[in-house]
Structure 1
């Protein structure tokens, strides 16, 4: 029988609150130095899993601390060393040993009106605690449509780093970046065309 089935807390509230404070400080240190691997890597178990969705047919998943450090915190963060990801709300469930943190994704540039280039919508991370002040898994979520819109805006303003441009170029050629995987086979060209025509018809005729 599991702790969830018996409603026995998997850890104390105090321990989880301390874990969150350690995590937030590690994030601040990582942003200050532009090095997420150094500060966040040790906060995952050896067999931890870290992932996020990238649209209807693609996901990123890193298995184990080494992949998390090398890919999720390493390769994926190349070109974003000066970005900030401030947390603005935290939900802690000590009975399940889980935490949800809501954050922003903010570029280090401002628009002519003085506002920061920032991904709109809701963004955050869902964690499960493993004890010993380490995460068992982390699952990120964000508004993909708003993320794409911001990257188009940054591209137009000439503010994308070369390494980010290279990643976009590789994806545009149909390459899967490290850690990325398809959830199912891609639609054929005919299916894609059929779906596009069907949507155009609906947009024009309402039928």
Structure 2
């Protein structure tokens, strides 16, 4: 496995995600019932997870405004870089409700695949990414999920890599937890990917 895997060990995130992923008989059990998704733990764990990740990618521009007797400093996010989150909103809505307060112009694209041949969704994603690529000097893609437990994510990565001309250096995976076998599979097909998670789970 040659993936760049970053384990986020922020203590507050660990406290919040501890109740999302139960430890039982030395195995992690993912609580995937809808009622848990409305829990505040999803809201704040998603916010803090993206905060920790975006700190590395947000570039700040400093502007000085000179007054007669003073100088005022203003800070702006670098407008030449676009940040995009690809996520299945039916699963992660409560995780991303506060993310726009971090970066107001961040774009969120819904990526729910109801079947394996959802070419309409593929077309929409491809068009949105290519539109932004023509408009901005740099694009950072974040594929966000709660727990990555299957290989549906590979379809999305292949779409981005083959039909948007994005480099794998611009594609990042962000999740609360991910299974080791999925990471191994991703490492074989896309070894340059960056994965940000709080826990690696084992079957």
Higher relative contact order (CA 8 A, sep 6+): 2
Alignment TM-score, normalising by the size of structure 1: 0.26
TM-score, normalised with respect to structure 2: 0.26
